[in-house]
Amino acid sequence: MIFWIVLLAGCILWIVLPRIGVLAHYRTWRAARERERLEDALKHLLNREHLGRHATPESLGGALNLSRTAVMRLIEQMEEQGLLETRGMELHLTAEGERWALHVVRAHRLWERYLADEARMPLAQVHAEAQRREHALTADQLDELEAAMGYPRRDPHGDPIPSRAGILPDAEGTPLTAWPLDIPGRIVHLEDEPAIAYEQILAAGLHLGQTIRVLERTPQRLTLSDGENEYRLAPAVAANVNLAPLTEVEAARNHTIPLSDLPLRQTAEIVAIDDALQGFTRRRLLDLGLTPGAVVYPELQNAFADPRAYRVRGTLIALRQDQAARILVRPQSLN
């Protein structure tokens, strides 16, 4: 009898003990879930406002997959916390709500940058993983992450990363569907939602920083070219690709090749590191001396051709093929 009493008492303690009990863990989990839902709501409101529209209870319920009752309860909670105001059927962020929303967007885009550049996660997967991680870091921790990555300005899709002060530059670029025919432009943004359209863009082989032109536009498809390859996209998919005019420096890059394509012992001048490469990796390449104007050449190659050893500024360094492909060089004349 004593044994069962002790066992029962132990089970009760295991359930109700503060911090380590089942109830404590449940409360922590529930609080985290409520915070995530609130922050997802703030992001939805901010996104709608940046598109020139305001969220409604219906749009919020659709974005968060909530019932009408749950949406109204969430709106009341956010109003009580001073995060939004209801004006008729429109939901408006307050100054505090916008500040919090920008913090979450900043966390999401910094995580995407880290996951793409440093964790080397496939681009099709970084959005979902960043969505999971974005709720965990404080402003100070985000500052540390941002500094360690060299203060990247844009995420892997080309979206601007808000500053800690809450400054969010406007997204740049013109959709492919509105870009003039046969005029070269640089890809500056790849919209990652809906995911199915983004996956088609990646599968086609398009990427940030790429220079392309529209060869043909019909109601059924757009035909694009980067000078070597042709790409075909449905208009609904092409609308998620934004271009910007080339600068003089970018126009000069058309006469360059990736360092990975440079023949063994052929010297070349470094013109630029692809803007799509950011974070720790970009900083390491610059620290190794791979800066514009430096002379570089492949000196050694192993049997599998990856990595390859390059001579730059009197030092021999090893680069993987995918790293060298992001370094644009201008081959020099052979003596």
Whole-number mean pLDDT of the chain?
Answer: 86
- Check pLDDT > 70 for residue 30: no
pLDDT value at residue 102:
95
Higher pLDDT, 32 or 222: 222
What residues does 216 pair with on adjacent strands? 223
* Helices (H), ranges, 18-122: 22-50, 57-64, 68-80, 95-117
pLDDT value at residue 18:
58
- Check pLDDT > 80 for residue 276: no
Per 3-state DSSP, the chain is made up of helix, strand and coil in percentages (nearest 5) of: 45, 20, 35
- Check pLDDT > 70 for residue 228: yes
Summarize the confidence of residues 55-64 as an average pLDDT. Answer: 93
Summarize the confidence of residues 167-171 as an average pLDDT. Answer: 83
- Check pLDDT > 60 for residue 6: no
- Check pLDDT > 50 for residue 158: yes
pLDDT value at residue 14:
52
- Check pLDDT > 50 for residue 153: yes
Quick: pLDDT tens for 123-136. Answer: 889 999 999 999 98
- Check pLDDT > 70 for residue 27: no
> What is the per-residue DSSP string for 122-147?
-HHHHHHHHHHHTTS--HHHHHHHHH
Pick from 21-30, 38-47, 91-100: least confident: 21-30
- Using pLDDT thresholds of 50, 70 and 90, give the confidence band for residue 231: very high
Which residue in 221, 324, 210, 220 sits closest to 264, CA to CA?
324
- The strand pair at 222-225 and 211-217 is best described as antiparallel
**Helix (H) or strand (E) run with residue 16 in it:** helix 2-16
The torsion angles phi and psi of 192, rounded to 5 degrees, stand at -95, 5
- Check pLDDT > 70 for residue 179: yes
DSSP letter assigned to residue 83 = S
Please state, in angstroms and rounded to a whole number, the distance separating the CA atoms of residues 192 and 237: 11
Higher pLDDT, 296 or 33: 296
Please state, in angstroms and rounded to a whole number, the distance separating the CA atoms of residues 4 and 6: 5
- The strand pair at 241-245 and 185-190 is best described as antiparallel
- Using pLDDT thresholds of 50, 70 and 90, give the confidence band for residue 7: low
- Check pLDDT > 70 for residue 265: yes
Taking the mean position of all CA atoms in its chain, how far away is CA 231? 23
Quick: pLDDT tens for 80-104. Answer: 999 999 998 899 999 999 999 999 9
Q: In what order do the strands lie in the sheet with 295-301?
A: 257-258, 327-331, 268-273, 295-301, 308-312, 315-319
Q: What is the CB-side half-sphere exposure of residue 315 using CA atoms within 13 A?
A: 10
Summarize the confidence of residues 208-213 as an average pLDDT. Answer: 89
- Using pLDDT thresholds of 50, 70 and 90, give the confidence band for residue 193: confident
pLDDT value at residue 26:
47
Q: In what order do the strands lie in the sheet with 211-217?
A: 174-175, 241-245, 185-190, 211-217, 222-225, 230-233
- Using pLDDT thresholds of 50, 70 and 90, give the confidence band for residue 10: low
- Check pLDDT > 90 for residue 109: yes
Higher pLDDT, 275 or 217: 217
Please state, in angstroms and rounded to a whole number, the distance separating the CA atoms of residues 152 and 11: 51
Provide, rounded to the nearest whole percent, the portion of the chain with pLDDT above 70.
Answer: 87
Domain architecture of the chain: domains with CATH: 24-93 (1.10.10.10), 174-246 (2.30.30.90), 254-331 (2.30.30.90)
- Check pLDDT > 90 for residue 78: yes
- On whether the CB atoms of residues 110 and 133 are closer than 8 A, the answer is no
Pick from 133-147, 195-209, 256-270, 293-307: least confident: 293-307
Pick from 16-25, 62-71, 242-251, 308-317: least confident: 16-25
**Helix (H) or strand (E) run with residue 120 in it:** none
- Check pLDDT > 50 for residue 310: yes
CA torsion through residues 55, 61, 64, 70, sign: positive
